[in-house]
């Protein structure tokens, strides 16, 4: 392994004229004591919301702004590069319903998309009006409240296609106001629900709407039912989930016949069904609730049977497919499921999407997401397999809203190619390209993406995708930027990002490390990187970086690493455990005060996270979290790489106190290094993933990349 020289002695990397005195937070005596273990926490006060906290965060932001003044021109240049790759006519593929065909269109230099539709030629147009035939039916930009932030929680057209339910967040705290629009007139109805969350479902007659409500800890714990034309205070409570480990979600099945409510924790779930034509009927459980059993359902009606498809880990690890009947009054046995497709150890089954002419299975095998079309009467068969056209790519279902469609639209993309949509015949598997996204001025042939593996300390082969310009050799001279996440069995599929080519065009090798804790290797890959095995996640990232340097692929003295949220925890852990390995680290909204947060049941994402990280009330689980918690394990002074941290006051997922406390502790523990630590804190409107809107977010990416390039010694004159 090539050691990374500390920046204080590395004259090859340009140093900015930074302010001499970064902010120092006051230290106030406070000690946590759990299981007989004392944990001093002198920055506990930063968990408050008083003016002293906001003043300190503002001083950190001012220090960041002053420290990056020399990068403003470079940031602007990067932003222009990224924006130049956005097409003038940026439209999505189309999806059809009975009366209208729908799509989205992003106007030039716009942050937000318009929702558009056109009347189908074969629909009954006798009752339509000229306004109804208009192309644009919802302009998101018109909802801008001038707060500097705007996001939509949902946009759902009613079954009769005359109404739109939509919800808006203008602060970044994921509290959405639910509204309804009459698409015949273009006017909003007076109905407004002031607090709602993601997910929703219409009744069959388009007069009732199901939505979720989150509590003060931001846990969606209720499903409520609103009848159009009534006051939101009179909305009906459909279901409440009192177990704080579970979150509720609600949706309509593609058939339109059922509304499904799902209660889910990390390791257990339960699903209820309600007839969409009888929205006030009581919800009926599909499979009950059994600890450790996860399942999801899809309605698959046919002339011969009205049944449900159930994807579950019941008596399986990588999930299997079952069938069940739609629950009825008086049903006692919720688990009378019939196996339809056994578990395959080399395939992680994610979902089953039912259409009249077949069932589309989404699964992962050999590190790639694939689709398989099977017949309703042969669910266990080999069917027709659909794979990405790229060596390193992603193929998945796009938006398909019609149960009776003869074809389904699939989306194929990779890091180096914008999405391509194709219509696939459900009976033959024949695919016809229907839409191709553009990237002006970008030539994918000038770049290459390849997959390699590197050994972890326990011998596990850790995959990584290496992306670079063809004229940038893997000969140990180029710097590298590694991105990783590694939690929740989540998969960051290979996808087009207009910002990444700017990394590659500046001679940097971009690496996506597919580490344990994520889902790239299936359910077992997640299990081997969570709870007591969480250290594997951190070891894997370091193993990829070490392998890149050891094999002489990149310059081992110029490796940067980046991650967000749980990926920010990853960055905090490897920053502490392997400070010698990195030239620079970017920890975005990092979950770094692990033990303190997991003890605080009053804040978001605590109790329902115990099945991902552990329950610190249990001594063994407390010990394994304390062993890696970045706030409790600071690296030795004098060994630290440059560090950029982000946070947002309104972030409901990682409270701003976590990065604020960590930054304060790091500054105090190494004053000489402290000027090389920057904290980009959003003190106004702002969200977990940064600024809202496409253009604004690319501006944020340009900021982050400008700092990384500067730290890696990339020329930006």
Beta-carbon-side half-sphere exposure of residue 323 (alpha carbons within 13 Å): 16
Could you tell me if 63 and 367 are in contact, meaning their C-beta atoms sit under 8 angstroms apart? no
Using alpha carbons, select from 535, 545, 536 the residue that is nearest to residue 512: 545
Residue 555 a catalytic site member: no
Strands 90-91 and 100-106: antiparallel
Q: How far apart are CA 556 and CA 550, in angstroms?
A: 8
User: Which residues make Cβ contacts (< 8 Å) with residue 193, sequence separation at least 6?
Assistant: 177, 178, 179, 211, 224, 226, 232, 235
Treating both helix axes as pointing N-terminal to C-terminal, what angle do 535-550 and 566-577 enclose, rounded to 10 degrees?
60
Could you tell me if 274 and 263 are in contact, meaning their C-beta atoms sit under 8 angstroms apart? no
Residue 651 a catalytic site member: yes
In angstroms, what CA-CA distances link 247 with 60, 190, 625? 35, 29, 24
Counting every residue, how long is the chain? 717
The DSSP code sequence of 444-478 is GGGEEEEEEEEE-TTSPEEEEEEEEETTS-SSS-S
Which residue is catalytic, options 94, 512, 536, 688?
Answer: 688
SS3 71: helix
Q: How far apart are CA 407 and CA 422, in angstroms?
A: 9
In angstroms, what CA-CA distances link 683 with 251, 612, 660? 34, 29, 12
Using alpha carbons, select from 224, 375, 207 the residue that is nearest to residue 300: 375
Geometric angle at alpha carbon 694, from 186 and 106, rounded to 5°: 45
Burial (0-12, 13-18, 19+ Cβ within 10 Å), 224: buried
In angstroms, what CA-CA distances link 565 with 326, 477, 539, 712? 39, 31, 18, 23
| Residues pairing with 436 in the sheet | 420
Using alpha carbons, select from 123, 148, 401, 86 the residue that is nearest to residue 255: 401
Which residue is catalytic, options 565, 576, 674, 692?
Answer: 565
Q: How far apart are CA 422 and CA 324, in angstroms?
A: 32
Burial 456-468 (b: 16+ CB within 10 A, else e): beeebebbbbbbb
Helix (H) or strand (E) holding 698: helix 694-712
Q: How far apart are CA 528 and CA 245, in angstroms?
A: 22
User: Which residues make Cβ contacts (< 8 Å) with residue 167, sequence separation at least 6?
Assistant: 152, 153, 154, 176, 177, 178, 179, 196, 200, 211
Which residue is catalytic, options 651, 670, 692, 710?
Answer: 651
Q: How far apart are CA 436 and CA 685, in angstroms?
A: 35
Could you tell me if 180 and 164 are in contact, meaning their C-beta atoms sit under 8 angstroms apart? yes
Q: How far apart are CA 570 and CA 584, in angstroms?
A: 14
| Residues pairing with 376 in the sheet | none
Could you tell me if 559 and 405 are in contact, meaning their C-beta atoms sit under 8 angstroms apart? no
Q: How far apart are CA 296 and CA 306, in angstroms?
A: 17
In angstroms, what CA-CA distances link 191 with 167, 177, 586? 12, 10, 43
The residues that are catalytic are 565, 651, 688
């Amino acid at each position: 392994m090539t050691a990374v020289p500390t920046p204080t002695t590395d004259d090859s990397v340009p140093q900015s004229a930074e302010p001499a005195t970064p902010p120092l937070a006051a230290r106030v005596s406070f000690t946590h004591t759990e299981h007989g273990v004392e944990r001093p926490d002198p920055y506990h006060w930063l968990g408050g919301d008083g003016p002293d906290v906001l003043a300190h965060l503002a001083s950190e932001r001012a220090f960041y702004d002053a420290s990056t003044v020399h990068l403003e021109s470079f940031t602007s240049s990067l932003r222009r590069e990224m924006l130049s790759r956005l097409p003038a006519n940026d439209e999505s593929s189309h999806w059809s319903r009975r009366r209208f065909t729908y799509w989205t269109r992003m106007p030039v230099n716009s942050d937000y998309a318009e929702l558009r539709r056109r009347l189908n030629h074969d629909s009954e147009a006798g009752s339509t009006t000229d306004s109804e035939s208009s192309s644009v039916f919802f302009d998101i930009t018109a909802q801008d409240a001038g707060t500097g932030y705007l996001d939509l929680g949902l946009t759902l057209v009613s079954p009769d296609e005359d109404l739109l339910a939509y919800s808006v967040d203008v602060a970044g705290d994921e509290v959405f106001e639910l509204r309804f629009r009459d698409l015949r007139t273009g006017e909003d109805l007076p109905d407004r629900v002031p607090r709602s969350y993601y997910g929703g479902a219409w009744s069959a007659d388009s007069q009732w709407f199901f939505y979720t409500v989150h509590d003060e800890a931001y846990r969606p714990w209720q499903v409520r039912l609103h009848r159009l034309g009534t006051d939101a205070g009179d909305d009906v409570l459909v279901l409440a989930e009192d177990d704080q480990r579970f979150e509720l979600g609600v949706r309509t099945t593609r058939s339109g016949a059922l509304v499904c409510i799902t209660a889910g924790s990390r390791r257990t779930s339960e699903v209820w069904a309600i007839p969409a034509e009888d929205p006030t009927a009581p919800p009926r459980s599909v499979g009950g609730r059994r600890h450790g059993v996860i399942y999801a359902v899809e309605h698959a009606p046919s002339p011969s049977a009205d049944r449900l498809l159930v994807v579950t880990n019941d008596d399986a690890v990588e999930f299997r497919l079952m069938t069940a009947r739609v629950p009825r009054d008086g049903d006692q046995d919720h688990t009378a499921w019939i196996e339809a497709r056994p578990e395959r150890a080399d395939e992680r089954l994610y979902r089953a999407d039912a259409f009249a002419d077949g069932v589309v299975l989404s699964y992962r095998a050999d590190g790639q997401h694939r689709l398989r079309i099977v017949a309703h009467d042969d669910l266990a068969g080999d069917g027709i397999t659909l794979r990405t056209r790229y060596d390193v790519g992603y193929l998945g279902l796009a938006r398909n809203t019609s149960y009776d469609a003869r074809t389904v639209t699939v989306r194929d993309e990779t890091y180096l190619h914008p999405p391509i949509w194709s219509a696939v015949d459900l009976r033959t598997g024949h695919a016809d390209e229907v839409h191709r996204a553009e990237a002006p001025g970008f030539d994918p042939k000038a770049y290459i993406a390849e997959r390699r593996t590197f050994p972890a300390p326990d011998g596990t082969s850790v995959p990584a995708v290496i992306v670079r310009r063809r004229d940038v050799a893997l000969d140990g001279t180029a710097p590298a930027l590694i991105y990783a996440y590694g939690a929740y069995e989540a998969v960051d599929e290979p996808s087009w990002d207009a910002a990444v080519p700017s990394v590659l065009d500046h001679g940097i090798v971009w690496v996506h490390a597919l580490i344990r804790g994520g889902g790239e290797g299936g359910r077992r890959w997640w299990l081997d990187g969570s709870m007591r095995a969480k250290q594997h996640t951190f070891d894997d990232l370091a193993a990829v970086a070490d392998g890149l340097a050891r094999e002489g692929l990149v310059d081992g003295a110029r490796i940067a690493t980046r991650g967000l949220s749980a990926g920010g925890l990853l960055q905090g852990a490897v920053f502490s455990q392997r400070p010698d390995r990195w030239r620079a680290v970017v920890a975005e909204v990092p979950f770094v005060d692990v033990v303190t947060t997991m003890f605080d049941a009053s804040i978001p994402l605590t109790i329902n996270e115990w099945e991902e990280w552990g329950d610190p009330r249990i001594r063994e689980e407390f010990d394994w979290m304390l062993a890696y918690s970045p706030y409790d394990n600071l690296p030795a002074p004098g060994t630290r790489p440059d560090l950029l941290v982000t946070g947002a006051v309104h972030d409901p997922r990682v409270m701003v106190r976590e990065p604020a406390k960590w930054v304060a502790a790091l500054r105090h523990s190494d004053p000489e290094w402290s000027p090389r630590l920057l904290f980009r804190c959003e003190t106004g409107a702002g969200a977990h993933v940064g600024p809202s809107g496409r253009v604004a977010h690319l501006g944020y990416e340009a900021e982050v990349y400008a700092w990384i390039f500067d730290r890696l010694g990339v020329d930006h004159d």
